[in-house]
Chains A and B, each alone.
Chain A
Amino acid sequence: MNALASEIVRDTSAVSAADLAKGGHFSGTIGDITTPDPRMVCREVNVWYGDKHAIKDVSLDIGNHQVVAMIGPSGCGKSTFLRCLNRMNDTIDGCRVRGSITLDGREIYDKGLDPVPLRAQVGMVFQKPNPFPKSIFENVAYGARIHGLTNSKAELDALVETSLRKAGLWNEVKDRLDQPGTGLSGGQQQRLCIARTIAVSPEVILMDEPCSALDPIATAIIEELIDELREHYSIAIVTHSMQQAARVSQRTAYFHLGDLVEVGETTQVFTNPRHKLTEDYITGRFG
Chain B
Amino acid sequence: MHTWTLLVALLAAAALAYHVGRKRAIATAGGSGRINTLHSLPAYYGFYAAMWAAIPALLLLGLWLGVQDQAINELVKASLPPQSVAELTPGALGLLMNDVKNVASGNIASGAVTPAIQTAADQYARLQHLARWTQWLLVLALSVAGMSFAWSQTRPTMRARNRVESVVLGVLILFSSIAVLTTLGIVLSVVFESWQFFQKIAPSEFFLGTLWSPQTAMRADQVAADGAFGAVPLFTGTLLVSFIAMAVAVPIGLMAAIYLSEYAPRKVRSVAKPLLEILAGIPTVVYGFFAALTLAPVIRDLGEQLGFAVASESALAAGLVMGIMIIPFVSSLSDDVINAVPQAMRDGSYALGATQSETIRRVVIPAALPGIVGGVLLAVSRAIGETMIVVMAAGLTANLTANPLASVTTVTVQIVTLLTGDQEFDSAKTLAAFALGLTLFLVTLTLNIIALHIVRKYREQYE
Contacts and interface: CB of A to CB of B under 8 A. Distances in A.
A146 B352 CA distance: 9
Interface stretch (B90-98, B184-192, B203-211, B342-350): B342-350
Contact of A88 (B351, B355, B362): B351
A130 B347 contact: yes
B344 A128 contact: yes
B461 interface: yes
Contact of B367 (A116, A128, A133, A145): A133
A193 interface: yes
Given A93-B266, A146-B362, A130 B352 contact: no
Given A93-B266, A133-B461, A146 B347 contact: no
Interface stretch (A24-32, A47-55, A119-127, A262-270): A119-127
A196 B351 CA distance: 10
A123 B351 contact: yes
Interface residues of A, number: 29
B350 to A, nearest CB: 6
Interface residues of B, number: 21
B363 to A, nearest CB: 5
Contacts of A56: none
A239 interface: no
Nearest to B363: A132
B345 A132 contact: yes
Contacts of B358: 146
A130 B345 contact: yes
Contacts of B66: none
Interface string A135-160: 00000001101110000000000000
A146 B348 CA distance: 13
A119 B367 contact: no
A124 B351 contact: yes
Contacts of B347: 88, 91, 124, 126, 130
A119 B342 contact: no
Contact of A143 (B266, B344, B352): B352
A130 B353 contact: no
A101 interface: no
A41 to B, nearest CB: 21
Q: Looking at B344, B350, B353, which has the most chain A CB atoms within 10 Å of its CB? A: B353
A73 to B, nearest CB: 23
Contacts of A147: 353
A36 interface: no
Contacts of A112: none
Contacts of B462: 133, 182
A197 B352 contact: yes
A143 B358 CA distance: 11
A197 B351 CA distance: 8
Contacts of B345: 130, 132-133
A145 B461 CA distance: 24
A234 interface: no
A118 B352 CA distance: 9
A120 B353 CA distance: 5
B344 A132 contact: no
Given A86-B351, A133-B462, A196-B348, 14 more contacts: A91-B350, A119-B350, A119-B352, A119-B353, A120-B352, A126-B344, A130-B344, A130-B347, A133-B461, A143-B354, A145-B362, A146-B354, A182-B461, A197-B351
Interface of B: 266, 342, 344-355, 358, 362-363, 366-367, 461-462
17 contacts: A88-B347, A91-B346, A93-B266, A117-B353, A124-B351, A126-B344, A128-B344, A130-B342, A132-B348, A132-B349, A132-B363, A133-B366, A142-B349, A142-B352, A146-B358, A200-B352, A200-B353
